[in-house]
Every structure is written in C-alpha cells, then in structure tokens.
Amino acid sequence: MATTSTLAKLRYRFVPDHVIGELLSKKWIDNAIPFLVLVCVVGLFGTLIPNFFSVSNLAIQARELGEFGLVCMAMMLVIVVGGLDLSVGSNFALGNFMALALLNLAGWPVWVTIPAVILICGGVGFVNGFLIGYLRLRAFLTTLVTLIIVRAIVDMLLLKYSKAMSVSFYDSEVWDLIGLGGVGGVPSSFIILIVVALVGHILLTRSRPGWRAMAIGGSRRSAHNIGLSVRGTVCAAYTISGMLCGLAGILYAARLGGAGTDTGMGLEIAALTAAVLGGNSLGGGRGSVVKALIGAVIVLVMTNGVLRIGMNSGSGPMVLGLTLLLAVFIDVRWLKNRDKLLSKVYVSPTLVELPTPRPTDAEKGGPLALNDRLRDVEIIGLDQVESPEDVLLDENDYLFCGTRHGDIVRFSPPHYTEWEVYAHIGGSPLGMAFDKAGDLLVCVGGMGLYKVDRDRNVIKVTDETNRSPFSVVDDSRLRLADDLDIAPDGKVYFSEATIRYEMHDWPVDALESRGNGRIICYDPTSGKTHTAVRKLVFPNGVCLSHDGQAILFAESWGCRINRYWIAGPKAGTVERMLDQLPGYPDNINRASDGTYWAAIMGMRSPALDVALRMPGFRRRMARRIAPDQWLYPNLNIGCVIRFNDKGEIVESMWDRSASNHPMITSMREHKGWLYLGGITNNRIGRIRLGDWADKNWSSYRSYWGARS
C-alpha cells in the first residue's frame, strides 16, 4: 500500500498529464495530421527512391518547391478569406509566357521584366478580386471563367509568338542565377519562397490586414457588421494571390525557359489539393502559410515520387487520388472530433493529500469553534451590489467594492446608504489596495492589474508577465489576477489563481487541484512585471506582513497560508505558515493589533477530500459526466479567522445559522469595524469589533502612515 502510494505520488509529481490537453488546445496542433501525412509520405518515398535524401536531390526538389509553394500560398490566401482561385494555373502560365516574351522578344532587362510580370499577373488577380470582392460574384464560378479566359489568351499569344520565342535564347547572369543558381547550394527559388513565406506568415498572423482577412474568412457577415472593409480586403487577397502566381511563373520561366501550351495545366487542382491536404479549410477562416507549405511538400514529393519510381502510366494519379481521399477523410474527422477530444482530456486532476482539518466543533472549544458572532452583522447596500469580492475603505471612510459588472462602487459615510459608480473598468474587479499616492490598484479577473487614480481615470498597470520557458500554454497573459498588496518599496505583489482556466471555470481548477497559479511582482520603477513564485495551488489572498519583510498568501485548494520573504535573510524563499485549515482561505488583510484577518470562503467536505486523493476517479468524472454534476468545493458558508505572525489562529467568527452573512471572501478592518465582502453576495456586511481593536486604525495608515 505504502509503495503504491509512493509510486502514485511520484507518477503525479513527474508525469505532466496536463501537457496533452494543453498541446491539443494550441492552435498549431491543427497541423499535426497534415504533418503526420507529410512525414509518412517523405518516409515512404525516401525509402523507395535511392538518393532521395542526397543534397543534390533535395536541391532539385527545393527548386521546384519554390514555384509550387508560391502557388499554394496564393491559393491558401484566397481560401483564408473564404474564396477560391481556380485561375492560379492559367495565371502561372501567363506569368511564364510574359516573362519569356518580355525578355526574348521585347528585349527588356531582367529587373524591369520581373516587376512588370508580377504587375500583369497581379492585374489578373485584381480582376478576380474586383469581381468577387466588389461585385460579389461567386468565387468558384468567377475564377473558373477567368481560368478559361486567361488560358485562352495564353494559347492565343503562344500561337502568335511561340515560334519566334523558340528561336532565341535569353542569356544573362542574373536570369541564370534565378533559374539555375542559388546561394550556397540553396536554390534561388527556394530562398524566394522562404522569404515570401516568412513575410506572409508575419502579415497573416501578426498584422492588422492579416487579422482582418482571417476575420472575414471566419465570418464574412460579422466582419461586415463590425465595419471591416470586407470588399477591399477580399479584392486585395486576390490581387496578392495573382502576384504570387506571377512570381512563380517567372521562376518557372527562369528554370526551363520554355513556353508550352500545357504550362500550369491542372496546377489549380494540385494547389487546391495541397492547400486542403495542409489543413486549410475551404470556406475560410482556417489556414496558414505553414499549412500551405506542408501541403505543397506532400503533393510535390508524391507526384515526383511516383514519377521517379517509374510506375506505369496511371499509378501516379491513382496513388495521389487515394492519398487525397484518405487525408481529407482524416482531416474531416479530426476537425469534427478535436474539440470533443480536447474537452475530454484537458482536465487533468492530480494527487492531493490534504492534512486533516483542525476541529471546528462548538462543543470542544478552541479558536475555530463554531459560533454565532456574525449573526448581528449590519448590512450595507443590500441588492445594490453584485458579487463584491473585496471591500476597501479610504482615509475619509468611503467604502469601495468591485462588482461583477466591472464597476468600482463607492458608498459614502456615515450611513453607507448612498452609493455611486466610482469607475468602470470592465472584467471582474477582485482584490484592491491603495498605494501611497492614494490611487486605487485593482486586480481584474480576465484583464490584469489596473489602477484608478484620484481623478477616477482607469489606467492599465500590467496585463502580462514574462513567459515561462517550458510552459505549453502561453502564460504571459494574465488570465485571473486575484488579489494584491504593495510592498514598502512600491512593488506590487499580486496573485494569479490559475493559468489554465478562465475565471468562470474556477471549479474545474479546483477539480484539478494542480499547482497552476503563481505570485507575480510588478515593479513601478522599471515598469516590468515578472513571475516571483510558480506552481501554487490557486493562490488567492495576498497581504504584506506588518514588518514589511514578507508577503503572506493563501493557497485556496491547498487550505493553507504561506509566507514569501521579500526582504531580510530569507528573501526569496517560501515557507508554510498555517495549514490544516478547515476550509479554503481567500483574502488576507492586516488587523490593528499586529495580527491578520483571513477569509475562509468555503468549507472542506470529506467526500471531496477523499476524491482529491483519487486523481483517476476525478479524471473519469471529468470525462464521463456532465460538468454540473462534478464534485466541487462548496462556496456557500465560511468564516473569518484571525491569526498571528507565528501562524497561530487567535479567533474565528461564524454565522452558524447561515442567515445573515455566511459567505465571505474578504474582510477589512477600519476604525474599530470589520467590513465583509463575499463574491456570491448581494450585500456588504460590517460588524463592530471588540475593545482590543484600535478605534483609530485604518489600513491606509498602517501601510503609509498618516497623510501629511
């Protein structure tokens, strides 16, 4: 028993189950299937064809890939905006012909010819784009007709000029460098492809025009309704597509120097096949340069491979057809089932052994014994606030709280019946604190760390931190900033509860109970944000110790409170301060006598405690039953505890009958009163403290001294 348990512990400690789900949730995992096909195809032909991996053969393949890859990117671009371009092959032939004609017959220099040809082919693309973008013609039909028109024009030109062209041979060093040469053994056309691909990738994924194109492909109607210039973008996509075809045509002309009637014949089918094999979805919105290139390599290796193997006529197309069927079949299934698979495997519970909770029985006594001290709580703003997670008071006794509408609400003293929206931030405002200047710093769930200055301007302080080197999910963005406190040097320490889930999915994080959270530090002098402590189990409340040497923070699902030293000899280390809590600790704040308040937002239940020791059970639960029937921590009853620097609990306050103010996520002592907030509440509570409390003590003064 003991050994299995050790084994299980080691297994859950070192096997990163959660990575599978995180990998599946990445956008680039979309390329997994095409990439797998690519590997299979290359592997197959690599073994069948001798010298396949030799440098010379790779150079040959790369040179042709340069041309074909450009055409595939042209196809991908229009597919991304929700269109289709069947005229790529004809346009390619036109580019080839024009390049040869301008060089051989018109005698233009290379550097004039290349831009001229790109412009001509871009012109064809523009015609497509104008018809499809501005006149709203159907892409399939329109490009079908332009395919035939351009092909017919090329045929006509060929009939007229091809004989004259075949007599002369254009010779120039630059032209030969493009067609036959390269840099350091890498063919020029491949270099050009890589450059275009890099630029294209950046444009498509990191620039406004690219995002617009993706948005239009994803939903043309929505894009139109939010005011994007749908028509212009579509037109531009076709124009660029035409230019890419022209460039490919030039490379082809430089390589072979011949204008045949079959140039580019059937290229549209090959490019379409490649685009779809690569995982670009017809209909738009899903596509990338990488996908286009993967598809291009697959198709090229296959078509060249079956030719090289020397199979009899027909075997090539046969293999190609079967591969296309198989690949599209797998892609269709993948697309259909990927989200299902993701939702099944993303939740990855881990082994947690919570120590037995401290007793709370009223009969046995002790600091945590149940009592009714919160029964007489005064209620403020009943039905006027929704989910005040944290409460805060300033020197003038104004009471602040956040609401789930994204507002900061301010109640006016002395009766706290009048209130106003102090500022609107958005998101879900959670923990709050005043800095020395009296500006309000707020952690906003879903947004990051914000500041409301004394003139009520909302300013973003930070919404990202440094990315962890080996994290699969992008943890540089702040998903769920929870609570903060400010060190004497002005550094802001705040907790991010989890990097794997959005705020409303907090129960799923509880089900996992993995160390998904962290403590982050923002330094106002440098403006930089960095992660201070990682792998914490739902870090929640944060509070600066009275001596200013440490940060106390709660790990909710770990039912413990830790101390993180920021100064002194132990600076940088974390130590456990208080554990075996009977519930899940939330916000922590200072008390006037040098102790600390902590809110317990919900109580542990034996069933969940057992389940936490059985990660397999929780995993099955997550996969097989509906989320609303999972085991969750309860968040409907809790208490307030007070503890000292030694980690000893001094007292606790309960609402045993659960009638007045049972749910507590935060509390704030102010001039002899304790103010209470709760995230599921529609009210704020306050209760007068005993004589031990300093009637003049306020949080602001405790941190920054009396205002001068």
Partner 1 sequence: MKKLTQLAVTAAALAALTVGSVATRADETDAFRGPALAALKGKTIAYLPISLGFDLAQAWGGTIKTEALRYGVNFKAQDPNWVTSAMAQGMTSLIAEKPDVIVTQNPDVQSLARLLKQANAAGIAVIQMNMQGAVQTDAFVGPDFIALGEQIANMMVAKCGKDTQTSHKVSLVEGVPTGGVSFYQVEGIKKVFAQHPEIKLVSSQAADWDASKARAITETVIQQNPDLCGVIDVWDGQGVGTGAAIKQAGKQGQVYFVTSGGGAQASCDRLADGTFSAFINYDAPGMGRDAWTAIMIYLQNKQKAGAIKTQIYSPTRVMTKADVKAGTCWDPEQYAKLLR
Partner 2 sequence: MDDRTKPQSMLRHLNQEKIVFILTIVLFILFSIILPNFLAANNILSLIRSVAVLGILGLGMLIVVLGRGIDLSLVATMAISVAWSLQLISSGMSVASAMTVGLAFAVGMSLITGILIAYAEIPSLFATLAMATFVYGFGRAHLITGTDVVYLPPDLGWIIKLGQGHVLGVPMPIIVAAALALIVYLFLRYTKPGRFIYAMGDNFFTARTGGIPVRPILVTQYVLAGGIAFIAGIVTATSAQAMNTRVVNSNMIYDVILVVVLGGVGLSGGRGNVRNVIVGTLLIGVLMNGMTIMDIQYTVQNVIKSLILLLAIVVDSILNPRDEQTGQQGDI
Residues lying near partner 1 in the complex (CB under 8 A)? 50-51, 54, 56-57, 60, 63-64, 155, 158-159, 162-163, 165-166, 169, 179-180, 252, 255-263, 265-266, 303-304, 307-308, 310-314, 316-317
Nearer to partner 2, 323 or 587 (CB): 323
The one of partner 1, partner 2, none whose footprint includes residue 475, by CB under 5 to 8 A per kind, is none
- Closest distance to partner 2 from the beta carbon of 626 (Å): 25
Q: How far apart are CA 444 and CA 484, in angstroms?
A: 10
The one of partner 2, partner 1, none whose footprint includes residue 145, by CB under 5 to 8 A per kind, is partner 2
Neighbours of 156 (CB within 10 A): 10
Tokens standing for residue 81:
């905006």
Q: How far apart are CA 231 and CA 247, in angstroms?
A: 25
Nearer to partner 1, 307 or 658 (CB): 307
Q: How far apart are CA 561 and CA 565, in angstroms?
A: 13
For 481, the enclosing helix (H) or strand (E) is strand 481-486
β-strand pairing of 399-402 with 407-411: antiparallel
- Does the protein bind partner 2 through residue 162 (CB under 8 A)? no
- By CB neighbour count within 10 A (0-12 exposed, 13-18 middle, 19+ buried), where does 414 fall? exposed
- Does the protein bind partner 2 through residue 329 (CB under 8 A)? yes
- Does the protein bind partner 2 through residue 34 (CB under 8 A)? no
- Closest distance to partner 1 from the beta carbon of 257 (Å): 6
Nearer to partner 2, 72 or 640 (CB): 72
- Binding-site string for partner 2 from residue 427 to residue 466, where x marks contact by CB under 8 A and - marks none: ----------------------------------------
The one of partner 1, partner 2, none whose footprint includes residue 324, by CB under 5 to 8 A per kind, is partner 2
Give the chain's end-to-end CA distance (angstroms, integer): 65
Which stretches of 107-187 are DSSP H helices? 110-129, 139-167, 173-179
- Closest distance to partner 2 from the beta carbon of 319 (Å): 7
Nearest to 82 by CA among 129, 27, 47: 129
Residues 132 and 140: beta-carbon distance below 8 Å: no
- Closest distance to partner 1 from the beta carbon of 113 (Å): 17
> In the block, which residue shows the tokens 């936490």?
612
Orientation of helix 55-80 relative to helix 188-206, angle to 10°: 30
Query: Which residue in the set 310, 314, 690, 705 belongs to the binding site for partner 2 (CB under 8 A)?
Result: 314
Task: Please name the amino acid found at residue 464.
Answer: E
> In the block, which residue shows the tokens 């599978």?
20
Task: Please name the amino acid found at residue 31.
Answer: N
The one of partner 1, partner 2, none whose footprint includes residue 304, by CB under 5 to 8 A per kind, is partner 1
- Does the protein bind partner 2 through residue 221 (CB under 8 A)? yes
Q: How far apart are CA 598 and CA 600, in angstroms?
A: 7
- Does the protein bind partner 2 through residue 283 (CB under 8 A)? yes
The one of partner 1, partner 2, none whose footprint includes residue 258, by CB under 5 to 8 A per kind, is partner 1
Which stretches of 613-683 are DSSP H helices? 615-624
The one of partner 2, partner 1, none whose footprint includes residue 257, by CB under 5 to 8 A per kind, is partner 1
Q: Give the number of residues in contact with partner 2, rule: CB under 8 A.
A: 58
- Closest distance to partner 2 from the beta carbon of 134 (Å): 10
Burial 367-390 (b: 16+ CB within 10 A, else e): ebeebebbbebbbbbeeebbbbbb
The one of partner 2, partner 1, none whose footprint includes residue 332, by CB under 5 to 8 A per kind, is partner 2
Nearer to partner 1, 248 or 550 (CB): 248
The one of partner 1, partner 2, none whose footprint includes residue 359, by CB under 5 to 8 A per kind, is none
| DSSP one-letter code for 477 | B
Nearest to 287 by CA among 296, 278, 298: 278
- Closest distance to partner 1 from the beta carbon of 351 (Å): 51
- Does the protein bind partner 2 through residue 706 (CB under 8 A)? no
- The stretch among 142-150, 397-405, 441-449, 522-530 that binds partner 2 (CB under 8 A) is 142-150
- Does the protein bind partner 2 through residue 131 (CB under 8 A)? yes
Nearer to partner 2, 314 or 569 (CB): 314
Q: How far apart are CA 603 and CA 589, in angstroms?
A: 20
- Closest distance to partner 2 from the beta carbon of 69 (Å): 21
Nearest to 541 by CA among 403, 432, 465, 647: 432
Nearest to 532 by CA among 545, 518, 544: 518
- Closest distance to partner 2 from the beta carbon of 324 (Å): 4
- Does the protein bind partner 2 through residue 569 (CB under 8 A)? no
- Does the protein bind partner 2 through residue 312 (CB under 8 A)? yes
- Binding-site string for partner 2 from residue 54 to residue 83, where x marks contact by CB under 8 A and - marks none: ----------------------------xx
Query: Which residue in the set 18, 63, 212, 220 belongs to the binding site for partner 2 (CB under 8 A)?
Result: 220
Which sign, positive or negative, has the C-alpha torsion 596, 600, 606, 608?
Answer: negative
Beta bridge partners of 651: 642
The one of partner 2, partner 1, none whose footprint includes residue 260, by CB under 5 to 8 A per kind, is partner 1
- From residue 293, give the alpha-carbon distance in Å to each of 33, 72, 234, 587: 14, 7, 22, 51
Residues 422 and 410: beta-carbon distance below 8 Å: yes
Binding site for partner 2 (CB under 8 A): 82-84, 86, 131, 135-142, 144-149, 151-153, 155-156, 159, 219-221, 224-225, 230, 265-266, 269, 272-273, 276, 282-284, 311-322, 324-325, 328-329, 332, 336
